[in-house]
Chain A
Amino acid sequence: MSLSAYVPIIALFALAAAFALFSVGVSQIVGPKRYNRAKLEAYECGIEPSPQPVGGGRFPIKFYLTAMLFIIFDIEIIFLYPWAVTFDALGLFGFVEMILFITTVFIAYAYVWRRGGLEWD
Chain B
Amino acid sequence: MTPAAVLAATPMSTGEMWVFIPLGILALVGALGMVAARNAVHSALFLVLTMLCLGVFYIVQSGPFLGVAQIIVYTGAIMMLFLFVLMLVGRDASDSLIETLRGQRVAAILLGVGFAGLVCVGLGRALAGTTAKGLAEANSAHGGNVQGLASLLFTRYVFAFEVTSALLITAAVGAMLLAHIERRKGERPTQPEQMRARFAPGNYPAPKAGPGVYATSDSVATAGLLPDGTLAARSIPEILPPRELTSSETAPKGTDR
Does a CB–CB distance below 8 Å link A and B in the complex?
yes
- Residues of chain B at interface, number, CB under 8 A: 74
Which chain A residues numbered 39 to 59 have a C-beta less than 8 Å away from chain B?
Answer: 46-51, 53-59
Question: Complex: how many Å from CA A50 to CA B239?
Answer: 11
Indicate if the CB atoms of A94 and B154 lie closer than 8 Å: yes
The residues of B that contact A64 with a CB separation of less than 8 Å are 81, 84-85, 88, 175, 179
Pick from B62, B88, B172, B240: contact of A61, CB below 8 A.
Answer: B88
Closest chain A residue, CB of each to CB of B62: A1
Binds A, one of B1-9, B44-52, B249-257: B249-257
Indicate if the CB atoms of B172 and A1 lie closer than 8 Å: no
- A-B pair number, CB within 8 angstroms: 190
Indicate if the CB atoms of B136 and A1 lie closer than 8 Å: yes
Pick from B84, B142, B151, B255: contact of A59, CB below 8 A.
Answer: B84
The residues of A that contact B209 with a CB separation of less than 8 Å are none
Given A34-B257, A72-B172: A53 and B149 within 8 A (CB)? no
Closest chain B residue, CB of each to CB of A86: B150
- Residues of chain A at interface, number, CB under 8 A: 62
Given A1-B136, A54-B239, A105-B168: A85 and B217 within 8 A (CB)? no
Is chain B's binding surface mostly helix, strand, loop or mixed?
helix
Indicate if the CB atoms of A100 and B162 lie closer than 8 Å: yes
Indicate if the CB atoms of A82 and B182 lie closer than 8 Å: no
CB A110 to nearest CB in B, in angstroms, measures: 10
Closest chain A residue, CB of each to CB of B154: A94
Pick from A6, A61, A97: contact of B59, CB below 8 A.
Answer: A6
Question: Complex: how many Å from CA A8 to CA B250?
Answer: 53
Pick from B19, B84, B90, B173: contact of A3, CB below 8 A.
Answer: B19
The residues of A that contact B10 with a CB separation of less than 8 Å are none
Which chain B residues numbered 156 to 175 have a C-beta less than 8 Å away from chain A?
Answer: 158, 161-162, 164-166, 168-169, 171-173, 175
Given A3-B60, A108-B173, A117-B176: A68 and B81 within 8 A (CB)? yes
Pick from A6, A62, A89, A111: contact of B172, CB below 8 A.
Answer: A111
Is A70 positioned at the interface, with any CB of B under 8 Å from its CB?
yes
The residues of B that contact A16 with a CB separation of less than 8 Å are none
Indicate if the CB atoms of B147 and A85 lie closer than 8 Å: yes
Pick from B60, B92, B147: contact of A89, CB below 8 A.
Answer: B147
Can you report 16 residue pairs joining A to B where beta carbons are below 8 Å apart? A1-B61, A1-B134, A38-B254, A48-B219, A54-B241, A64-B84, A67-B84, A71-B171, A76-B168, A78-B69, A82-B154, A89-B150, A94-B154, A101-B162, A115-B180, A116-B183
